[in-house]
């Protein structure tokens, strides 16, 4: 009987641990994909909003939070993609230019600039897609 109880408790703990990473894993699968711009483009608006709220630190019960870098990357990517969906091509092009200008001080700064360089690369991909149609 003790073995059955032990196995049941162990199974519940394993399910809790697995369930606690669903949002985090989904966010990380998108930002670390080979083509993150394509990956986020496949996600529905409602799901992006839910994941973006999670990335911004709005707690989802039982979910492990993203680290600071992943939260920054996902927030940026989701914001840009949601803007892409809502704007015309000209408006989106202007938006991308403004985002690039906002990133420049961080890229020239000291410390870890890797996330900002990734963001700049994503802007390049979005701009290339605007040009190629």
Domain residues for 128? 2-132
Residue 43 · residue 129 · CB < 8 Å = no
12 vs 69: which has the higher pLDDT: 69
Residue 117 · residue 107 · CB < 8 Å = yes
- Is 1 buried (19+), middle (13-18) or exposed (0-12) by CB count in 10 A? exposed
CA distance 65 to 56: 9
Question: How open is the CA angle 4-64-23, to the nearest 5 degrees?
Answer: 100
- Residues 64-119 pLDDT 10s: 888 999 999 999 999 999 999 999 999 999 999 999 999 999 998 888 899 999 99
Question: Where residue 39 falls among pLDDT bands split at 50, 70, 90?
Answer: very high
- Total structural domains in the chain? 1
């Amino acid at each position: 009987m003790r073995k059955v109880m032990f196995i049941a408790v162990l199974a519940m703990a394993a399910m809790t641990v697995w369930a606690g990473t669903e949002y985090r894993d989904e966010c990380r699968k998108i930002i670390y994909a080979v083509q993150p711009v394509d990956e986020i483009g496949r996600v529905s608006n409602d799901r992006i909003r839910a994941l973006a709220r999670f990335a911004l630190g709005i707690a989802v019960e039982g979910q492990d939070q993203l680290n600071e870098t992943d939260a920054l990357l996902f927030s940026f990517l989701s914001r840009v993609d949601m803007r892409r969906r809502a704007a015309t091509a000209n408006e989106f092009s202007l938006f991308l230019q403004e985002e690039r200008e906002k990133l420049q001080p961080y890229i020239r700064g000291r410390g870890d600039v890797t996330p900002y360089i990734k963001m700049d690369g994503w802007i390049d991909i979005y701009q290339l897609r605007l040009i190629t149609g």
